[in-house]
């Protein structure tokens, strides 16, 4: 695999520096997704089963249903190797501890006015399958939903051709307090959760990553249901100076590229010598990794800049999902971070810890969305309602300005609704 190298000028000139979630070339996939969503919306379980058989190789028998029996979910923890169960429970404690700090209390300002915060009733979490099983994604979605107070949390994940779901996913669902696990994947799962079927009640909010069809399906159903984000391929950007360990940097670049052949890894450094060493380490490392083919197909770039000030300009413009600062003083450099989904400081904070056990959420904005959005959290499962409790004195005080504005807009019935109360 060859790493593409740039200086600052050639990087800014390159379309790679301006990567965004571009859906313009996905018309065919979007048309397929629209058809799937329309059929699941109108035909329900029949279409859901048909697409499950076509894409996952499985559909339930009439007496079986899409949900995994509760007994299987509860038994999953006993089926796990003790060390694996310990790891899931350890990660659960860390994730819960971090997310419990995201408290949102009712806000009261002007007398008689306040903002209430309430959880959604049902949350649906999509957990990808295919290349790997992701119990960590179950934890990252279900734990903040439960902390928010969501009454019912369900998971959708693609089954194997025999209808089974990886035991690690079921075990994570048991630990995180998931109510139902549905054996369904892809766009049809998103449509079922958004619209509801006879066997899959609809949810209020959808969260979780997936492939391009899942992402396009979330776009399609948005408005019928809330969504967390439209997620593109995973990405990492490392800002490193001459003192950084080249083998650490290379390892972290490869760690994110193994997710997806469309993933991104970018090193930004003020040291050409470090760039050389990282390229050597990376080439040596990749050949021995299990997912070498996926890593080799992904985007990997090195940008050599004049100084760390320029490096941070590149980082903030790229707005990466994961940002690592491997410099002599990462703490002070972190004050210059404007756009990033998650930031990791120093040589002993690899993104891998954030993916599993550090505590903050690993479902993060991608494709530059860190410029305007945030990690998945408790707030994704909350909604706000304003409350106005006003008396006659308030009405008299507000009357003149309200009536004037209503008349200014030509909405005289609005004005009348105020005036009639004071006649």
Give, for all 423 residues of the chain, the pLDDT tens digit. Answer: 678 999 999 999 999 898 777 777 889 999 999 999 999 999 999 999 999 999 999 999 988 899 999 999 999 999 999 999 999 999 999 999 999 999 888 788 788 999 999 999 999 999 998 767 899 999 999 999 999 999 999 999 999 999 999 999 999 999 999 999 999 999 999 999 999 999 999 999 999 999 899 999 999 999 999 999 998 889 999 999 999 999 999 999 999 999 888 889 999 999 999 999 999 999 999 989 988 899 898 889 999 999 999 999 999 999 999 999 999 999 999 999 999 999 999 999 999 999 999 999 999 999 999 999 999 999 999 999 999 999 999 999 999 999 999 999 999 999 999 999 998
The strand pairing partners of 269, in sequence order, are 240, 304
Q: Length of the chain in residues, anyone?
A: 423
Fold of 27-227: Rossmann fold (3.40.50)
Residue 262 near residue 234 (C-beta atoms within 8 A): no
Choosing from 180, 321, 324, 362, the catalytic residue is 321
What is the model's pLDDT at position 204?
A: 98
Which residue carries 């990376």 as its tokens? Answer: 282
Longest dimension (CA), the chain: 85
| 235: annotated active-site residue | no
Q: From CA 9, how far away is CA 29, in angstroms rounded?
A: 35
> Residue 410: its pLDDT value, please?
98
**356/364 Cα distance (integer angstroms):** 13
- Domains of the chain: which residue ranges? 4-21+232-358, 27-227, 391-422
Q: How distant, in Å, are the alpha carbons of 88, 206, 289, 352 from that of 172? A: 7, 18, 27, 18
Predicted local distance difference test score (pLDDT) of residue 18: 84
Question: Hey, CA dihedral for 320, 326, 327, 328, is it positive or negative?
Answer: positive
User: Could you tell me the two tokens for 182?
Assistant: 């549905």
CATH topology identical between 4-21+232-358 and 27-227: yes
Reading the block at residue 378, the tokens are 């408790």
Cα dihedral 163, 164, 166, 169, rounded to 10, equals 80
What's the token pair of residue 54?
């076509």
Tokens of 140: 């990252």
Q: What pLDDT, on a 0 to 100 scale, did the predictor assign at position 131? A: 65
- pTM for the model: 0.93
Distances in Å between the Cα of 372 and the Cα atoms of 45, 348, 414 are 37, 28, 36
DSSP readout, 137-187? HHHHHHHHHHHHT-SEEEEEEPPPTTS---HHHHHHHHHHT-SEEEE--HH
* Cα separation values, 43 from 50, 54, 62, 145, 189, Å: 10, 16, 16, 30, 14
Give me the numbers of helices (H) and strands (E) for the chain, helices first please. 17, 14
Question: 4-21+232-358 sits in which CATH class?
Answer: alpha beta
From the candidates 322, 409, 416, 419, give the one annotated as an active-site residue: 322
Question: Which residues are 207's β-sheet partners?
Answer: 125
Q: Three-state SS for 236?
A: strand
Q: Is 99 designated active site?
A: no
Which alpha helices (H) appear in 199-318, and where do they start and end? 212-221, 246-257, 272-286, 292-297, 308-318
Please report which helix (H) or strand (E) contains residue 73, including its range.
Answer: helix 70-79
Determine the Cα–Cα distance for residues 340 and 323; give it in Å rounded to an integer: 6
Residue 114 CB: number of other CB atoms within 10 A? Answer: 15
3-class DSSP state of 370? helix
């Amino acid at each position: 695999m060859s790493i593409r190298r740039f200086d600052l000028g050639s990087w800014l000139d390159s379309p790679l520096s301006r990567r965004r979630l571009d859906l313009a070339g996905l018309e065919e996939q979007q048309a397929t997704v629209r058809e799937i969503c329309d059929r699941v919306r109108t035909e329900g379980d029949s279409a859901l089963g048909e697409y499950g058989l076509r894409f996952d190789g499985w559909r339930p028998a009439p007496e079986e249903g899409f949900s995994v029996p509760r007994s299987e979910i509860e038994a999953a923890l006993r089926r796990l190797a003790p060390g694996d169960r310990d790891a899931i429970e350890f990660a659960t404690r860390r994730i819960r501890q971090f997310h419990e700090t995201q408290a949102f209390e009712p806000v009261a300002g002007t007398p008689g006015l306040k903002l209430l915060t309430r959880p959604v009733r049902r949350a649906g979490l999509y957990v990808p399958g295919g290349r790997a099983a992701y119990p960590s994604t179950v934890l990252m979605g279900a734990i903040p939903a439960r902390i928010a107070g969501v009454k019912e949390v369900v998971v959708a994940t693609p089954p194997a051709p025999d209808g089974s779901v990886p035991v690690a996913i079921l075990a994570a669902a048991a630990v995180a307090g998931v109510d139902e696990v549905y054996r369904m994947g892809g766009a049809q799962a998103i449509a079922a959760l958004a619209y509801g079927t006879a066997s899959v009640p609809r949810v209020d909010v959808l969260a979780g990553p997936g492939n391009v069809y899942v992402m396009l399906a979330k776009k399609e159903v948005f408005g019928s249901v809330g969504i967390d984000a439209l997620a593109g391929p995973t990405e990492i950007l490392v800002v490193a100076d001459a003192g950084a360990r080249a083998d650490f940097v290379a390892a972290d670049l490869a760690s994110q590229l193994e997710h997806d052949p469309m993933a991104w890894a970018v090193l930004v450094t003020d040291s050409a010598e470090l760039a050389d060493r990282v390229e050597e380490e990376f080439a040596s490392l990749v050949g021995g990794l299990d997912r070498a083919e996926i890593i080799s197909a992904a985007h990997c770039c090195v940008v050599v800049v004049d100084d760390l000030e320029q490096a941070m300009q590149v980082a903030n413009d790229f707005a990466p999902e994961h940002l690592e600062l491997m410099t002599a003083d990462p703490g002070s450099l972190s004050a210059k971070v404007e756009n990033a989904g998650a930031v990791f400081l120093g040589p002993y904070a690899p993104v891998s810890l954030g993916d599993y056990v550090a505590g903050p959420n690993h479902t993060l904005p991608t494709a530059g969305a860190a410029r305007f959005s945030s990690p998945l959290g408790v707030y994704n499962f909350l909604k706000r309602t304003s409350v106005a409790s006003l008396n006659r004195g308030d009405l008299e005080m507000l009357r003149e300005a309200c009536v004037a504005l209503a008349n200014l807009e030509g909405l005289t019935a609005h004005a009348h609704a105020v005036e009639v109360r004071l006649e």
